[in-house]
Structure 1
Amino acid sequence: MKKLLITRVLPDANLDVAHARYDVTVRDTAVGLTVAEAAAALRDYDAILPTLGDQFGAEAFTGETRCGVLANFGVGYNHIDVDAAAKAGIAVSNTPDVVTDATADIGLTLILSTCRRTGEGERLVRADRWGGWGPTAMLGTHVTGKTVGIVGMGRIGQAVARRCHFGFEMPVKYFNRSQKKVDFPAEQVDTMAELMGACDIIVVTVPGGAANTHLINADAFAAMKPTGIFVNIARGDVVDEDALIAALQSGQIAGAGLDVFAKEPIVPDAFRAMENVVLLPHLGTAALEVRVAMGQMALDNIIAWDEGRPLPQAV
């Protein structure tokens, strides 16, 4: 029986499937594998089901490897050096598609929460500091009809855009490095600066990784409207957090909604200190049905590898 390492606790339905077929070890911690632990896992296990925070960078692959497959739990796999894995003869997969709608829903949650100040309002009520309704109390940004800009028009970007267009009558603009056709009304613009300046709300949905590190920087925030709302449901390293903090503190932009951070679970104190920032603990795919589907997809890739078949979601 092959040895399988699962680096975080998965839903029971997934663990039942895994235990029925493999000699399974499950790490009972929310802390990702260090480089040394990742290297040891590659040496000691036939298959690994890793996720965000597990440090499978190039240095993890320099020693002896027994592992044949890294079936990542999650669509983003910037914590895995795919080239180094390939050189070591290790296949890598991820879990696209099943995360699209859930992540897009969190994007809409952050748009609404940031624009309508719902986090601030709830804190006011819970602290018993609400003085009652008034015509000018807790005024936020009306969402319907506002122009939304999508950075990265992949599956998730399109799902966010559809919700905005069909649900809130929002004109959609987007920036994508390559030409991208979509099946709903939307305008592709040529530059990031053009997108940032033309839209009321910006939503970032690009993959993480070196190519997109600090894609959203001080110049991008400088191009935004002072009434602009910024939302990130991509990866924390896509955004220069210091530049975002400066833009918020100076009033260069009006607010931000964040589900991801550069050094999770560490969140800069400056974000917590600002009422115009909505903070979520990486809830993008946090629905039981979605997490079970992700786990099953990862296991399906491991089983395919075990049976000598191509990985269905190879990256």
Structure 2
Amino acid sequence: MARPMPADVVERAETLFDVEHRASNLPMSAAEMRSALALYDGIMPSLGDRFSNEIFAEFGRPRCRVLANFGVGVDHIDIEAARNHGVTVTNTPGAVTDATADIAMTLILMSARRAGEGERLVRSGQWQGWHPTQMLGLHVTGKTVGIIGMGRIGQAIARRCHFGFGMEVLYANRSEKAMDFPARQVSLEELARQSDFIVLAVPGGPETMYLVGSDFLSGMQAHAHLINISRGNVVDESALIDALRENRIGGAGLDVYEFEPEVPEALRQLDNVTLLPHLGTAALEVRTGMGMMALDNLQAFFAGERPPNAL
């Protein structure tokens, strides 16, 4: 197990397997990944453990036969390379959907209503009391949200926006989605032009890297807010910093970063961006559910069955 896990996950894992626990919360080093592939029958890696083609290239068929990823995103694992070396990769979809959608809504509200800036003002001791033009933000109810990526998480965000805040929903996706509320599929360009809030909910990987860059940001409305709960490199961070610094967009709310955990000083100094430390699934019951799903995958694999979330 590549990270310390919730107690219930640890307890169940130890009833199923002989387990070695890695004590560090930092990503595995290349040497640790190579050793793990040689020493263990299965590994439960997580975000940041970059099992690349170069890592697998040193092996014909490693002892490890399954990577049960703790998380839904697997852009840190070269799935084709794993498959070519006889290693099955699984993930934990579903368990993360609602928690990640909740964080998207948190960021929409915090960014629109300048909540982070306001909290810093109160903590500084400089707040002089309420007045009619104090920290005027953007009203969320009734606005238009554009969602890029309409998978499980994107749809959960759309439902919250529509039913909770009466928002019009636009989306950009490779295929049209049937939903039980009004939502209109549009191009990325039209979504940028028409949306008051834009939420990124796409998978990470080469296809989505820098999906939002200077051209996209230039197409947004001046009051619009960009929300990213997907992967940091979906956004060209330097282009976003420029847009925020020059007030070409209304603001941004970020839970992920291009070079995570490094966050540029220029970004940290801006008041018109809300910064969270990758809290998308940070609730005990959610992280426990993710761990249990990873263990379900491992249990099925070693029983000779196809894991329920094999990729």
Shorter chain as denominator, the TM-score bin is over 0.9
Counterparts of 1:210 and 1:60 in 2: how far apart (Å)? 19
Deviates more, 1:99-108 or 1:179-188: 179-188
Q: C-alpha offsets along residues 276-309 of structure 1, whole Å, 9 cap, x if unaligned?
A: 1100000000000000000000011001111000
Alignment match of 1:239 (pick from 235, 244, 250): 235
- Maintained 8 Å contact 1:205/1:233: yes
**Hey, what does 2:305 align to over in structure 1?**
309
Q: How does 1:33-72 map to 2 (within 5 A)?
A: 33-64=28-59, 65-72=62-69
Q: C-alpha offsets along residues 154-203 of structure 1, whole Å, 9 cap, x if unaligned?
A: 100000010000000000000012222222111000x2111011100000
Counterparts of 1:25 and 1:223 in 2: how far apart (Å)? 50
Q: Does 1:185 align with 2:185?
A: no
Specify the code of the residue in structure 2 equivalent to 1:18. A
**Hey, what does 1:3 align to over in structure 2?**
none
Q: Does 1:224 align with 2:217?
A: no
**Hey, what does 2:129 align to over in structure 1?**
132
Q: How does 1:141-156 map to 2 (within 5 A)?
A: 141-156=138-153
**Hey, what does 2:97 align to over in structure 1?**
100
Q: How does 1:155-304 map to 2 (within 5 A)?
A: 155-189=152-186, 191-304=187-300
Counterparts of 1:108 and 1:67 in 2: how far apart (Å)? 39
Counterparts of 1:41 and 1:211 in 2: how far apart (Å)? 29
Q: Does 1:91 align with 2:88?
A: yes
Counterparts of 2:272 and 2:147 in 1: how far apart (Å)? 21
- Maintained 8 Å contact 1:35/1:57: no
Gaps of 5+ in 2: none
**Hey, what does 1:111 align to over in structure 2?**
108
Counterparts of 1:29 and 1:263 in 2: how far apart (Å)? 19
Counterparts of 1:193 and 1:249 in 2: how far apart (Å)? 22
Q: What secondary structure, in the 3-state scheme, does the structure 1 residue paired with 2:106 have?
A: helix
- Maintained 8 Å contact 1:73/1:95: yes
Identity in percent: 56
Specify the code of the residue in structure 2 equivalent to 1:197. R
State the superposition RMSD in angstroms.
Answer: 0.8
Gaps of 5+ in 1: 1-5
Q: What secondary structure, in the 3-state scheme, does the structure 1 residue paired with 2:204 have?
A: coil
Normalised TM-score (structure 1): 0.97
Counterparts of 1:123 and 1:162 in 2: how far apart (Å)? 31
- Maintained 8 Å contact 1:256/1:278: yes
Shift of 1:30: 1.7
**Hey, what does 1:120 align to over in structure 2?**
117
Shift of 1:33: 1.1
Deviates more, 1:226-235 or 1:22-31: 22-31
Q: Does 1:24 align with 2:13?
A: no
Shift of 1:61: 0.6
Counterparts of 2:152 and 2:45 in 1: how far apart (Å)? 22
Q: What secondary structure, in the 3-state scheme, does the structure 1 residue paired with 2:221 have?
A: coil
Counterparts of 2:242 and 2:262 in 1: how far apart (Å)? 18
Runs of 4 or more above 3 Å deviation? none
